[in-house]
Each structure stands twice: as C-alpha cells, then as structure tokens.
Amino acid sequence: MAYDFDLFVIGGGSGGVRCARVAAGLGARVGVAEERFWGGTCVNVGCVPKKLLVMAAEYGNSAADSAGFGWTIPAGAHDWQALISAKNTEISRLNGIYTKLLTGSGVEVFEARATFIDDHTLQVGDKRVTAARIVIAVGGRPTVPEFPGAEHCIVSDDAFYLPQRPQRIALLGGGYIAVEFAGIFAGLGCEVDLIMRQHLPLRGFDEDLRTGLAEALAHNGVRLHGGSAVTEVTEADGVKTVHLANGERIETDLVFAALGRTPYSQGLGLEHAGVVTAASGAVVVDENSATNVPHIYAVGDITNRLSLTPVAIAEGHSLAEALFGAGPRAWDMTRVATAVFSIPPIATVGLIEADAAKMGPTDIYISRFTPMRHTLSGRVRKTMMKLVVDQASQRVVGAHMLGEDAPEIIQGLSIAINCGATKADFDRTVGIHPTAAEEFVTMRTRTRVVGV
C-alpha cells in the first residue's frame, strides 16, 4: 500500500520535532501535527518561561544583596505585566524558530489535532492522512486535583499567563514545579505557603538535598506545611481557604495545584489503532520506543519514563536514526543529569545515597559552606555538594548539589560520571580558584560509609 507519509509525528514538542527533522534529513517523507503550540510544554509552559521567571525573582535578591558590596539600590516595585509581556515575546520568537526548523527540513506541518482512525490512518483537522509509521509525542498536561473545590485552583499552565501577581499564594505539592514556583513568587514579593504530603520536598531526590532545600525555602520566606493533605478549597468574597486534614485553614488569594503532570493520551483514538496504555494513560513502549503495534512508536512525556526535555529529544533523535538511518546512536539513560530551578537551584546526576547503599558499601563525601557572594551580602544561603562513591571500585556513582550555578556545574560532572571517573580522578584534578565548583575536586575527608 502507498502511504501519504513514511513517518507522521503527532505532537510538535521537543521530542516530536527532533524526530521529524532527523527523519526528514535522512530522506523520509514526514508530516507533523500540533494542536496547541510549537515547542511543546518546555518552550511554552515549562522549562523556558519558568527559568525566565526564576531569573526575574533572583534580580530582586541581587538588588538587596548589592548593599554588602557598597551599592545603594532603592527598593522598587516589580511589574508583573511587563515580565509576562517580555516572556510572551520570547516564547513567540521560539515558536517561530520551531516551525522554521521543520519547514526548512522539508517536513509538512499541520496546525491541527491528529487522532487515529486505524493503525495507519489519522484524522488531522479536516484532512485524513495515512502513514507507514506513526510516532506519538503529545507530552503531558498538568494533573488536576480531585478534592472538593478544585475549580478554585489554577495549574502550572495558568501560572504563566496570570493577569496580575497575587499578594498571597498557596502552592499544593512538593515536586519540582511546586518548589520552583515557591521560589519565583517569594522572590517577587508574595506571601507563599507550600503545602505538601511529604515532610520534605522533592520525593525521590537525595535526602541531604531535600533537607537543604527545605531550609533554603524557609530562609526565603516560604512557609512550609509538610505532612499535610488538602481536603477542600473554598472561596468567599474573593478569598480562598485551603482546608487541611489536620484542621488547619490557610487563607490566600490564589491556590496553585502543582501536583505533577499526566500523560496526554485521552482523545487520541489509541483504541482504534490497538495501542496499549498504562493505568496512568502513558503509552507503553519498549527500550526502542516501540508500542505493541509494530509500526507505531512513542517518545517523550507521553511514555511517562524520564520526563525531561533532553531525554525526549534523545529518544526522538534515536528513533529517527533507527527507522531511517544506519542505526540509533547510543544514549545512556541510566545516568541522566537533571536540575530543579528552585532558589537556590538543585542539580543531580547518578545514584542517590539510599539507592547506592542498597548495592553495597558506599563512601559519602559532603561539603557545606556559605558561597563567597554571601559572605558579604549577609544573605543566609548555603551551598551543599555531595559525592556518592562505590567503595569497591571507587567509581563516583552520584554527584548532587544545592546552590548557585548547580545546573551548570553538574552538567560538566555528568560527563565524568558517565565516563566512569573514580574518586582518584576527581582528587587529582586541579580546581579553578576561587569557585564553588572546585569543592568537588577537593573533598578529601569521607563523611560516612553506608550500605555495610
């Protein structure tokens, strides 16, 4: 049978666009459909605009800190609408770049929703198309709470388009979205309550990082409500009240449910193609991004594996090479670095202490110190660095950092860890002085041994 396309990609986010471009570059006839905005979550309502907002929050801190260096900068009011307008301009620019990248690669672009008619046929807007292979790359959507009064809450997509900044905000959740926006709104002058089921934020991260971040959030003025469950949200006269299971009531101007993200598989017509999904809605795939239907694949957040933009890009690139090239390049997904753009930020690569300890004797090295900047600014802010070392091989199997520039520093360390560097390799590396990063190559004294 002759098909309209060799490959059709549903979703114009980072993973889908990379897959489409690489496949087209390898000679395939490619189409891609996007129903909402080009660039997906990351570019529009995720990493990119979020980091711009984090930068905005940090400018206020920098102005206050400058007094310790002899500057006199009068306190001023923040213009939320100016920030959002500037952010929107930048996002529009990036949207245009994505469409140019696709059309410049020879990809046929459809600005419409695509749904399955059968395993080779898609309804794309008002047009029906066929494809030999189909890639599902539609990402996820914010998880909507189910407690009474959920209609009084916003989710992360909404936060980027608020018409005005609230004076008081209650954030529900302890994941990366919650802690990042807690830092953003606190830095912009809001009164922030962070309500989370766990006693510490960032479940799944290293325990020392979690503890350090909780302390940092508190120093930034965020009120932490750990071990708390929301039972209801009510509203009266424009004031919202968050009701907690322990009887506590928190009055606020805005309730932001930052409860994670859910794979966006509803309404795709996957049942018409016979594609299997998990209870979460995630499309089930194997290590090659293949679904149970031989010619249908899925990459990115829709698979609910490692929901990170660079991972989606790697998966899309690898799949295109596997389908139309000489074979996929090797990507190691077992030691993927990641960052949380809290204030201060967190970055991590490799095993956390608890997981390493389960595998055998493990040496732990930790350093905590006040960054040079804040010895003069007077701001209460600590940097924490941690190395996790397999005792038998002396390989560094994990590196974790809380502090300024953590994502930039850990990106470099992730190369070393992926190359199998040992603690001796770190020890014989000459540091750059004076920097925070040099601490990773000067930690000589073991803090503790675990896993014995």
**Strands 114-118 and 254-257, how do they pair?**
unpaired
Residue 178: name the closest of 161, 212, 201 by CA.
201
Which of 263-277, 317-331, 384-398 comes out lowest in average pLDDT? Answer: 317-331
CA angle at 403 for the pair 406 and 83, rounded to the nearest 5°? 85
Q: What is the pLDDT of residues 46-78, one digit of tens each?
A: 999 999 999 999 998 999 999 999 999 987 889
* Confidence (pLDDT) at 160: 97
Q: Is the peptide bond before 344 cis (omega within 30 degrees of 0)?
A: yes
Peptide bond into 263 cis (omega under 30): no
Q: What angle do CA 30, 2, 117 make, to 5 degrees?
A: 75
What rounded mean pLDDT belongs to the chain? 96
388-429 confidence digits (pLDDT tens): 999 999 999 999 999 999 999 999 999 999 999 999 999 999
Choice among 152, 225, 272, 433 that is catalytic: 433
pLDDT tens-place string over residues 168-222 = 999 999 999 999 999 999 999 999 999 999 999 999 999 999 999 999 999 999 9
Q: pTM of the full predicted structure? A: 0.95
Please check the confidence at residue 1 and state whether its pLDDT lies above 90.
no
400 is catalytic: no
pLDDT greater than 80 at residue 328: no
Alpha helices in 380-429 (DSSP H): 406-418, 423-427
Domains of the chain: 5-142+262-324 (3.50.50.60), 150-259 (3.50.50.60), 344-450 (3.30.390.30)
